[in-house]
Amino acid sequence: FVQIWMHTGALLVEGKKMSKSLGNFITVEDYLQKYSPQVLRLLVLKHQYRSPIDYSDKLSLEVTNEWSNLLQFLSKLNLVKKFNKKNSVSKNIASLISKADLAFYEAMQDDFNTPKALSSLHLIINELQKRVYSLTTKEAKLINSTLTKNLNLIGLVVKLPKIPIKIINLSKKRELIRSNKQFIKADGLRKEMNTLGYTVEDTPLGSFLWPQETS
């Protein structure tokens, strides 16, 4: 029943081969007690399947942050889709998306070169991270669908965190207070949301809310 047989690289733990006898053995079940399945998948995909993976907690934390940053970018695109009603697509954005999409497929056809495929997605994110809020609705939709489609193709399922209604209401209250130039009270609400585990970024399109721990 096996149709594809692939020899993968060895799994190391801080430079040593994973082995029960060495006491450095980690099961998937134990790993998922600390990190999400998406982080595990991303960690594996960041290595070409024939190459060894040298595991460490530091590596998992780096991948956790990378996944969180990717989800944040997609969530910011949703904010743009909601509030920026322009429907044009500039030639530069269309070219960037087309170039990254082609690079993704070429990398996957090159012996499943997933690290290179992932770097093609980061090409979009790195280029647009600082000006994401200036994108049009149509551009945001196009970028979102391209990134999500290609992530799904390599088994990375995008599930954005749901912001609790309490945090949303506090954010709305803070925006109203800020509009009345009551900045000290607004800072107090920001600190309250921070205490509850959420960060607030003031953007041209309103407040961007994000959980402090995302995996």
What is the full DSSP assignment across 113-181? -HHHHHHHHHHHHHHHGGGGGGS-HHHHHHHHHHHHHHHHHTT----PPPPPHHHHHHHHHHHHHHHTT
Q: How far apart are CA 171 and CA 22, in angstroms?
A: 51
* Integer Cα distance of 128 and 133 in angstroms: 9
pLDDT tens for the chain, 215 residues long, are: 677 788 888 889 888 888 888 888 888 999 999 999 999 999 999 999 999 999 988 999 999 999 999 999 999 999 999 887 788 899 999 999 999 999 999 999 999 999 999 999 999 999 999 999 999 999 999 999 999 999 999 999 999 999 999 999 999 999 999 999 999 999 999 999 999 999 999 999 999 999 987 66
- 14 within 8 A of 55, measured Cβ to Cβ: yes
Q: Is 37 exposed, middle or buried (0-12, 13-18, 19+ CB in 10 A)?
A: middle
CA distances from 15 to 19, 41, 46, 52, 53 (A): 12, 21, 17, 10, 9
Give the pLDDT score at 62. 96
Q: How far apart are CA 198 and CA 192, in angstroms?
A: 9
- What pLDDT score was predicted for residue 93? 95
